[in-house]
Structure 1
Amino acid sequence: MSRFGAASALRDDGATERGLSAYALHLVLPALVAWTTALILLGCPSWTGALVAALAAAGALSAAVLVPAGGIAGWRNVVIAVLGCAAAVAGTVAFRLHAVSAGPVAELVEKRASTVMEAVVTGDPREPAQRGGPFRRDSFVVPARIEAIGTGPGRVTLQAPVVMLASGGEWRTLLPSQRIAVQGRFGPADSGELLAAVVLVRGPPRVLDGPSWAQRTAGALRSGLREAADVLPPLQRGLLPGLVVGDVSRMDGQVRADFKEAGLSHLTAVSGANLAIMAGAAVAVGRTAGLPLAARAALAVFAMLAFALVARPSPSVLRALLMGTVAAVALGTGRSRDGVTALSATVLGLILFDPALARSYGFALSVCATGGILVLAPRWRDRLATRMPRWAAEAIAVPAAAQAAVTPVLVLMSGQLAPVAIPANLLAGPAVAPATLLGSVAALVAPLHMGLARLLIHPAGLAAGWIIEVAEHAAGTPLAVIPWPGGVAGLIALAVAVPVAILVLRRRWSRRIALAVAAGAIVAVTMAEPIVARWPPRDWLLVACDVGQGDALLVAAGPGRAVVVDAGPDPVLMDRCLRSMGIREVPLVILTHPHFDHVGGLEGIFRGRGVGAVVVTPHGGAERENVRLSGDLARRRVVEWAARPGASWRFGPSELTIIAPRAETPPEGRGEGAVVNNASVVVHVRWAAGTALLSGDIETEAQSELLRRGFPPADILKVPHHGSAGHDPGFFAATGARAALISVGADNDYGHPAPSTLARLNRLGVRVYRTDLSGALAVVARAGGLAVIPRGRSGRGG
């Protein structure tokens, strides 16, 4: 039941209606036309929508007057409905576009003006993707509605939807419906969004009015659930509120990444699955109590409404709530229930209510998944039921149908196929209902008796732990995610591949050949690749992790151990690299300097690993970042040492020595960023087979200082500052390196590595290896010397 949606939870007899009624088919077409109309017109001027609305309305009126009843082969009413819906949606889009593109806010946007305003928060503040981490200021995207601009006699009242970009921990605790006053600068919103502006907010918000009683109650229940979940291990503690009410504020980054690769992200999106569970439980309670159909339906609607309030309305929640209500009314009145009809009516209603949903990938995924379950799952279940028990056939058919239906949207979004999603959903599904129900009851009980709530949380945590295990193993499965062309090209390729696959699978002999080829490919990937690639290499000494635009290096420190030099920008990629190398213990971490692309992934090092101590630069040029770094290390109770030239450690085959910077010599540079770069800790590493110089982000000034003081040569050079153009001409030559490693992100905005840097290294005869081209890079001992083994781009993060 985890993905059937609210409608399926309300079926009293458990039967699935086969086939689609003519009425359902007649309603699907208007819904699709309405969706397409909004999708196109959102990117056009408001007058275009008005023109389309007038033309469509004229067409509908002409069809109603000129075409006799039963004309056009009985499709007269469908044509009228299609044109009428197109006219209604086009008119709505035109009105909304005009509303957000005219008035006082539009004038302020044109001037990029800054002013004081009053606004009502309309959604939960969320941290933007790829911007989190303990070493950046808390940044938030806050949906809001401006209701007043200015103060005193010049105060203007209005209603304009905006998005606020703000920083500071004070924003995290805001609840929808709270009224705030802020100072901000207006900027244009992205094309196609029904927003009047993007507001860059300065400073914290001043709360003018508290949230409504409903939002206050919802916030208290969500807070109670988080508090009750504190008794669970960290990973379960972060996931359970996401499963129950979509609260992913504490969800571990690696778990989030595993869910995405395993096709389980929908479990934390609070959609039809959650509403189906709540409605199904309400119906079961009503049936046990002997309530009549109408009372059971009312109880189901009440349960769904209460849950939607706590979870906060999102596109998928609105869709499932509306469709579930329609199905519940049908149940209560004893009328025939058609899921496709309910889904089509829901799409029509929501697009008319909020045309911006037409461009929401979340809304598209939700509708497609539900449609796939309603249309494809019954047929696939019946076919499978001839070869296996009916319950098993249904368990396989539901996730398979949902995944098949959302595949075109996934291709359009990210250009990939996820075949592992079907078995992952099949294995995780049985644990979703217990986690959701127990977590929901715990949220209701927590404000009254926290001890009882925590008793309920423990079994819910076990269910969440099982889902985490499924996600982790599914994400690590070979061919879990298959690269595929993205965008329109990917859709065209999919449209060609699917009919071919159907033709192949329809015949027994071709099906056997296809299955044999697929099995051979899986065997080749799972068995042959480790033999050929041998990753990680058994005798590795140094690894440059592929963490995008940043640095993360591992120095061998014995079996299952490594010294980490810098942590990259992303905890997920940092942890993935350590996992791929089998690292369970980190005796020492060296953070060369506190820029985000070197320390943002520190959380990934601590995930399930013991850390001995952390070495940092002795210079405090980046005061804010250093304070946050020190605070984070103190919170983790990890020893922090300031680097000193001459300090040396021996771990396994590696001897590490600090050679810069000097604490008594303040770093120099052109600009604050260069000063911090020149304060980087520089490490010389020695092995029996050779040496390496790990140079952080030092630029021209620090390189020249090293040249003046002298430093030991090295066989391998970690090129400073991702290969930027800022380098001393004599520095590379003085290292004596035969190979250079450049840790850099693909298609980065900084122009790294610089052509001048690559040219100089080539003239010196240094062989260059880059993580953006070759993935992770491993330095190994070979024939009395050192060699570099690239992993390849498929090993991102490893």
Structure 2
Amino acid sequence: MRELRLLPAAGLLWLVVLSMIISSSWLFPLLLVLLGVGCAAVLKEWGQALVIGSLSTVGGMIAWIRLKTAEGFELSQPVAGTVQSTKRLGSGVQLINLQVTGYPVDLPVFLHSDQNVQPQTVVTVAGKIESDSRVGIGEFTMTAQSVEVISAPRGYAAWVNGVRDNFQTAVVNTVGESSQGLIPGMVLGDTRLQDPVETQLYIDTGLSHLSAVSGSNVAILVSSVVVVLYYATVGPRIRVVVSLAVLGIYLLLVGGEPSVLRAAATGMVSLLAVLNSSRIEPMHGLCLAIIVLLLWDSNLAIHYGFILSITATAGIILLFPLLYKALARIPAPDIVIRALAVAIAADVVTMPIIALMSRQLSLVAVLANVLVDAMVAPVTLIGLMAVVLSMLPGSLEFFALKLIEPCTYWIFQVATWCQRLPRSTIDVAPGWLGILWIVCAVMWLIVALHYGLIKIILAAYAVFFMLGLWNARLPPQVDPRELNYVVLDDESEISQVPAGIELIIVRDATGRAAERPTITPAGIPVLFPNRDGEVNLHTDGSQHASDGRF
């Protein structure tokens, strides 16, 4: 039980910060602190009382200071700040997280433009300022009418942007369409080449953690370094120092965004869990990561990404030994059993949270993750080699990118196939009753796995999908002639299409046939009949090629 010694402190700190942000008052957080300290005192755990009392008090004070600073901040136009990150949301909208001097959190700026704004660029933004309706420390959101660049990134930031741009160009010029969005995302966390359709594809199949830097990337990188140094007969202390140095270089390369730092922390803890480390207990490491991350950024307490990362990591720590023992009865290689145990552990514990967040559940997440597991390590490691080679003359990265292209092609095809399975996702009933059903189902699934009812679970899984296949029907087709469409000779003319157009048809036959539907940033479907063949439109907005490519 020694590894649980930080669990009360981490749990109470999270509750205090969360209640502080939700209530904007000291009353409820103070009651939580007194309750926690009182319980420790009753049990005569004086050390625990001191630790949980001091940590939760400090965390609550930091959150309170940030809340009051945000409440008293006056946002005047034009707003000047430094771009921290950008993300394309679809329909021609970008989300820019802007760091404004004196404001305790990043300001969300929605830009309805294709203007390319790189991280660490100093800009001024003019537009409409509104109150932020989401729960959190932030008080404002902004819809930009114009973004003016004051100064381009310099020094380290300019170097990182240059590395990303060079690598993105190399990827576009080297690999096929199905790999172009995945490789920069998996290697550097650069999702600029992923359109909304591809992003939704990985969300529906439980593979969204692969389309950007995640804890698995960190675990693969650090474990590879540890293994190489081990076989080089390097001592344990030097292995630790070198591994941390490599991790630090990697973080400098991909950037210090909250999602990346969260991935670094949870990835290291997950690695400890799977390797069964005896030097630092995984649960102790996870609690330490929670404390450090919440003190560093109080707003993480209410972020679904943070909650999912911590929950998935805790699930791997707690359930991996149990599931591995149960699944070991399956006649399969040990690496497959380990991958299956990790995928099930992470998936089942996050089901209620995903249900609460999106009111949908992916029933193919475990299957998809197991099928692509062997491809993640080569893409991560060889992809990093390709990044280094792209900074050198001679286009040497070509060979490394071609080496990993089959891996990312496989990941894309698995995601596409799993998404097409009948009932690949199910809707969760509204209200807390639907969440309660998911929790009960998860608990019974864990019990069934513990008692070794693997064959029964797989049979039920197969019957469920077969019934869905029997009843599967595509939505009705849409006659393109009934839409307001335009016919273009070349793809370059798409940007000149006027407002109100519902369908774009391009006559140009050059290029390879697309492997997924084509839409504009504004959500308008684009058909290439001379290149892709017959593609049908359906009433739910989907597109289906007659030859089954998508």
TM-score of the aligned structures, taking structure 1 as reference length: 0.58
Match of 2:4 among 15, 20, 25: 25
More displaced stretch, 477-486 vs 267-276: 477-486
Please tell me whether the aligned partners of residues 118 and 179 of structure 1 are also in contact (alpha carbons under 8 angstroms). Answer: yes
Letter in 2 for 1:120: T
What does the per-residue CA deviation read over 1:227-285, in whole Å, with 9 as the maximum and x for residues that have no partner?
21121112212221111112121124443332122111111231111111221222233
Distance 1:400 1:344, change over 3 A: same
Distance 1:385 1:455, change over 3 A: same
Q: Match of 1:385? A: 328
Distance 1:346 1:117, change over 3 A: same
Matched, 1:166 2:111: yes
Q: Match of 1:125? A: 86
Distance 1:161 1:320, change over 3 A: closer
5+ residue gaps, structure 1, are: 1-21, 109-114, 133-138, 148-156, 537-542, 545-552, 556-562, 569-592, 611-624, 640-650, 653-742, 744-770, 777-797
Matched, 1:338 2:284: no
SS at match of 1:127: strand
Matched, 1:116 2:82: no
What does the per-residue CA deviation read over 1:424-477, in whole Å, with 9 as the maximum and x for residues that have no partner?
111101111111111111111212125101111101111111111111111111
Distance 1:31 1:567, change over 3 A: farther
Give the Cα–Cα distance (whole angstroms) in 1 for the partners of residues 443 and 351 of structure 2.
Answer: 14
Q: Match of 1:242? A: 185
Distance 1:101 1:554, change over 3 A: same
Matched, 1:263 2:206: yes
Give the Cα–Cα distance (whole angstroms) in 1 for the partners of residues 349 and 154 of structure 2.
Answer: 39
Q: Match of 2:21? A: 42
Q: Match of 2:362? A: 418
Please tell me whether the aligned partners of residues 12 and 33 of structure 2 are also in contact (alpha carbons under 8 angstroms). Answer: no
- Structure 1 residue 523, shift from structure 2 partner: 2.8
Give the Cα–Cα distance (whole angstroms) in 1 for the partners of residues 204 and 530 of structure 2.
Answer: 32
Q: Match of 1:574? A: none
- Structure 1 residue 600, shift from structure 2 partner: 8.1
Give the Cα–Cα distance (whole angstroms) in 2 for the partners of residues 435 and 511 of structure 1.
Answer: 31
SS at match of 1:124: strand
SS at match of 1:223: helix
- Structure 1 residue 608, shift from structure 2 partner: 6.9
Q: Match of 1:370? A: 313
Distance 1:594 1:181, change over 3 A: closer
Q: Match of 1:180? A: 123
- Structure 1 residue 309, shift from structure 2 partner: 2.4
CA RMSD of aligned residues (A): 4.0
- Structure 1 residue 101, shift from structure 2 partner: 0.4
Please tell me whether the aligned partners of residues 381 and 394 of structure 1 are also in contact (alpha carbons under 8 angstroms). Answer: yes
Match of 2:156 among 188, 196, 214: 214
Q: Match of 2:385? A: 441
Please tell me whether the aligned partners of residues 52 and 87 of structure 1 are also in contact (alpha carbons under 8 angstroms). Answer: no
Alignment of 1:192-591 (within 5 A): 192-208=135-151, 210-230=152-172, 231-322=174-265, 336-388=279-331, 389-486=333-430, 488-501=432-445, 518-526=461-469, 528-529=470-471, 543-544=476-477, 553-554=478-479, 565=483
More displaced stretch, 512-521 vs 85-94: 512-521
SS at match of 2:135: coil
- Structure 1 residue 405, shift from structure 2 partner: 1.7
- Structure 1 residue 55, shift from structure 2 partner: 5.0
- Structure 1 residue 305, shift from structure 2 partner: 1.7
- Structure 1 residue 497, shift from structure 2 partner: 3.2
Please tell me whether the aligned partners of residues 408 and 494 of structure 1 are also in contact (alpha carbons under 8 angstroms). Answer: yes
Please tell me whether the aligned partners of residues 336 and 370 of structure 2 are also in contact (alpha carbons under 8 angstroms). Answer: no
Distance 1:601 1:496, change over 3 A: farther
SS at match of 1:186: strand
Aligned residues: 516
What does the per-residue CA deviation read over 1:538-589, in whole Å, with 9 as the maximum and x for residues that have no partner?
xxxxx54xxxxxxxx236xxxxxxx784579xxxxxxxxxxxxxxxxxxxxx
Distance 1:206 1:498, change over 3 A: closer
Please tell me whether the aligned partners of residues 37 and 49 of structure 2 are also in contact (alpha carbons under 8 angstroms). Answer: no
What does the per-residue CA deviation read over 1:295-340, in whole Å, with 9 as the maximum and x for residues that have no partner?
221221122122222222344421342456789999xxx9722111
Q: Match of 1:765? A: none
- Structure 1 residue 31, shift from structure 2 partner: 1.7
Distance 1:430 1:489, change over 3 A: same
Please tell me whether the aligned partners of residues 8 and 52 of structure 2 are also in contact (alpha carbons under 8 angstroms). Answer: yes
Give the Cα–Cα distance (whole angstroms) in 2 for the partners of residues 499 and 327 of structure 1.
Answer: 22
- Structure 1 residue 486, shift from structure 2 partner: 4.9
- Structure 1 residue 515, shift from structure 2 partner: 6.1
- Structure 1 residue 483, shift from structure 2 partner: 2.4
Q: Match of 1:142? A: 96
Letter in 1 for 2:100: I
Give the Cα–Cα distance (whole angstroms) in 2 for the partners of residues 399 and 511 of structure 1.
Answer: 15
Distance 1:224 1:487, change over 3 A: farther
Larger radius of gyration: 1
Matched, 1:88 2:42: no
What does the per-residue CA deviation read over 1:730-784, in whole Å, with 9 as the maximum and x for residues that have no partner?
xxxxxxxxxxxxx9xxxxxxxxxxxxxxxxxxxxxxxxxxx68xx99xxxxxxxx
Alignment of 1:607-756 (within 5 A): none
Give the Cα–Cα distance (whole angstroms) in 2 for the partners of residues 513 and 199 of structure 1.
Answer: 53
5+ residue gaps, structure 2, are: 487-496, 515-520, 543-549
Give the Cα–Cα distance (whole angstroms) in 2 for the partners of residues 284 and 445 of structure 1.
Answer: 23
Q: Match of 2:518? A: none
Between 1 and 2, higher relative CO (CA 8 Å, sep ≥ 6) is seen in: 2
Q: Match of 2:69? A: 99
Distance 1:283 1:39, change over 3 A: same
Distance 1:638 1:368, change over 3 A: same
Please tell me whether the aligned partners of residues 413 and 487 of structure 1 are also in contact (alpha carbons under 8 angstroms). Answer: no
Give the Cα–Cα distance (whole angstroms) in 2 for the partners of residues 637 and 473 of structure 1.
Answer: 23
Please tell me whether the aligned partners of residues 244 and 440 of structure 1 are also in contact (alpha carbons under 8 angstroms). Answer: yes
Letter in 1 for 2:502: H
SS at match of 1:376: helix
Please tell me whether the aligned partners of residues 167 and 204 of structure 1 are also in contact (alpha carbons under 8 angstroms). Answer: no
Distance 1:522 1:182, change over 3 A: closer
Give the Cα–Cα distance (whole angstroms) in 2 for the partners of residues 286 and 269 of structure 1.
Answer: 27
Please tell me whether the aligned partners of residues 38 and 355 of structure 1 are also in contact (alpha carbons under 8 angstroms). Answer: yes
More displaced stretch, 443-452 vs 249-258: 249-258
Give the Cα–Cα distance (whole angstroms) in 2 for the partners of residues 355 and 237 of structure 1.
Answer: 35
SS at match of 1:341: helix
Using the aligned pairs only, state the percent identity.
23
Please tell me whether the aligned partners of residues 187 and 197 of structure 1 are also in contact (alpha carbons under 8 angstroms). Answer: yes
Give the Cα–Cα distance (whole angstroms) in 2 for the partners of residues 607 and 370 of structure 1.
Answer: 43
Give the Cα–Cα distance (whole angstroms) in 1 for the partners of residues 204 and 285 of structure 2.
Answer: 31
Please tell me whether the aligned partners of residues 39 and 358 of structure 1 are also in contact (alpha carbons under 8 angstroms). Answer: yes
Give the Cα–Cα distance (whole angstroms) in 2 for the partners of residues 188 and 484 of structure 1.
Answer: 30
Please tell me whether the aligned partners of residues 126 and 141 of structure 1 are also in contact (alpha carbons under 8 angstroms). Answer: yes
Distance 1:201 1:158, change over 3 A: same
Please tell me whether the aligned partners of residues 161 and 197 of structure 1 are also in contact (alpha carbons under 8 angstroms). Answer: no
Give the Cα–Cα distance (whole angstroms) in 1 for the partners of residues 301 and 504 of structure 2.
Answer: 35
What does the per-residue CA deviation read over 1:134-191, in whole Å, with 9 as the maximum and x for residues that have no partner?
xxxxx322112223xxxxxxxxx87774222334444x23222x32234344332234
Distance 1:594 1:396, change over 3 A: same
